[in-house]
């Protein structure tokens, strides 16, 4: 984790905040489009995304062979920097269930007042990887902006723990929060649950579990997995408009997640493809989503998951849920982890913070 400030001018944050444009997609989805700071062209990669994609293509394919998932968990995180949140205290406690202990990282800002709302953030990483180093700066930002307490559970990962073990840990995190609300100084009836990628899937699973329906007032999902099944017939590269000179780079970012999709059943459901359609994995297959609280779904323009994310947002809107869909143009999957490097990550913290202030 770095200690330097943001790697972009604050003017780019102003572009993201003020340059949003509302559109209605052909299927009726109400969608908020975020611009690419510094490039007014349509359908271009953010310059930082383009640079990374171009460098990876130039380096050639990665060596063939199995991936060491355990080693991957301790590999260096994406570049991230401290922008705000130095006055946010962090402590780590362990939820004990007899047979296991789940670490919880808790962030409490100096501005915290007793009775605040609480945020539970569930990390992504294909249900296999992910650690606090990737998200700490984001959570410090949100905690400082809002005065709320943020909680990050280190839920059990696959392949050691298959579905639904991670779901159980995330539901237990809310149980723990309720039991310790007075100690934390939070109002357990005002809880927000957020997550990115696989963490978005787990966020939906917590909502669909229903045991905390009266407490969860806000859901925020960043490029969530909502359909873990095979690539649908209606999906195609034609969904992605791209300027000609960036086509290879843009599609390489789409394929990065599309190709990983085939490995999920093996790693998460012990090769049971049918379980990947369980709504606790793939919320798009839930029979009823009308009980969802106010929900924000964030997608990336050049992400394989964009199609399913926006389809899910449309389903929520059709069910009468107060659902906001936001597409960050020029971005790829995982940009939130590059806080301090990608201005879009800081803008997401602002968006979540503003939504938290409403509960």
Q: What is the pLDDT of residues 194-230, one digit of tens each?
A: 999 999 999 999 999 999 999 999 999 999 999 999 9
- How would DSSP label each residue in 206-263? HHHH-TTTTTEEEEEEES-----SSPPTT--GGG----GGGHHHHHHHHHHHHHHGGG
The per-residue pLDDT for range 82-133, each reduced to its tens digit, is: 999 989 999 999 999 888 899 999 999 999 999 999 999 999 999 999 999 9
Instruction: Dump pLDDT digits (tens) for 57-84.
Output: 999 987 777 778 888 887 778 999 999 9
Q: What is the pLDDT of residue 63?
A: 78
Where is average pLDDT lowest: 69-78, 130-139, 257-266, 335-344?
69-78
Taking the C-alpha atoms of residue 269 and residue 166, their distance in angstroms, rounded to an integer, is: 11
Its pTM surpasses 0.95: yes
Q: Are 122 and 195 within 8 A, CB to CB?
A: yes
Q: Which two tokens stand for residue 248?
A: 């290879």
pLDDT single digits (tens) 288-325: 999 999 999 999 999 999 999 999 999 999 999 999 99
CA dist 298 and 4 (Å) reads 27
Length of the chain: 359
Are 44 and 64 a contacting pair, CB within 8 Å? no
The percentage of residues in the chain with a pLDDT greater than 90, rounded to a whole number, is: 90
- Note the Cα 23 to chain centre separation in Å: 23
Are 116 and 148 in contact by the 8 Å Cβ rule? The answer is: yes
Please check the confidence at residue 3 and state whether its pLDDT lies above 70: no
User: Quick check: 234 pLDDT over 60?
Assistant: yes
Taking CA 132 as the corner, what is the angle to CA 130 and CA 136, rounded to the nearest 5 degrees?
Answer: 130
């Amino acid at each position: 984790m770095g200690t330097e400030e943001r790697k972009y001018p604050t003017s780019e944050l102003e572009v993201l905040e003020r340059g949003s444009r509302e559109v209605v997609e052909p299927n009726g989805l109400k969608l908020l489009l975020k611009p690419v700071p510094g490039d007014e062209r349509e359908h271009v990669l953010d310059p930082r995304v383009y640079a990374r994609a171009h460098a990876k293509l130039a380096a050639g394919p990665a060596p063939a062979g199995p991936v060491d998932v355990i080693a991957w968990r301790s590999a260096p995180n994406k570049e991230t920097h401290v922008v705000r949140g130095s006055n946010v205290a962090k402590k780590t406690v362990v939820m004990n269930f007899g047979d296991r202990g789940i670490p919880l990282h808790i962030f409490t800002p100096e501005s915290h007042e007793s009775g605040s709302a609480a945020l539970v953030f569930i990390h992504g990483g294909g249900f296999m990887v992910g650690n606090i180093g990737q998200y700490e700066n984001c959570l410090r930002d949100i905690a400082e902006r809002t005065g709320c307490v943020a909680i990050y559970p280190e839920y059990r990962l696959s392949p050691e723990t298959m579905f639904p073990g991670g779901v159980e840990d995330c539901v237990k995190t809310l149980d723990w929060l309720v039991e310790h609300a007075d100690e934390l100084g939070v109002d357990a009836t005002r809880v927000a649950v957020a997550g990115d990628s696989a963490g978005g899937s787990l966020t939906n699973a917590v909502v669909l579990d229903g045991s905390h329906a009266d407490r969860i007032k806000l859901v925020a999902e960043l490029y969530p997995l909502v359909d873990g099944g095979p690539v649908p017939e209606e999906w195609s590269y034609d969904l992605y408009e791209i300027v000609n000179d960036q086509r290879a780079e843009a599609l390489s970012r789409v394929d990065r997640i599309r190709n990983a999709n085939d490995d999920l059943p093996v790693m998460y459901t012990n090769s049971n493809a049918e379980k990947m359609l369980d709504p606790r994995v793939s919320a798009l297959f839930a029979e009823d989503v009308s009980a969802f609280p106010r929900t924000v779904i964030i997608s990336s323009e050049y992400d394989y998951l964009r199609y399913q994310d926006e389809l899910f947002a449309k389903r929520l809107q059709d069910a009468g849920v107060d659902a906001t869909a936001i597409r960050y143009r020029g971005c790829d999957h995982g940009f939130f982890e590059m806080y301090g490097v990608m201005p879009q990550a800081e803008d997401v913290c602002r968006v979540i913070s503003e939504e938290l202030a409403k509960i």
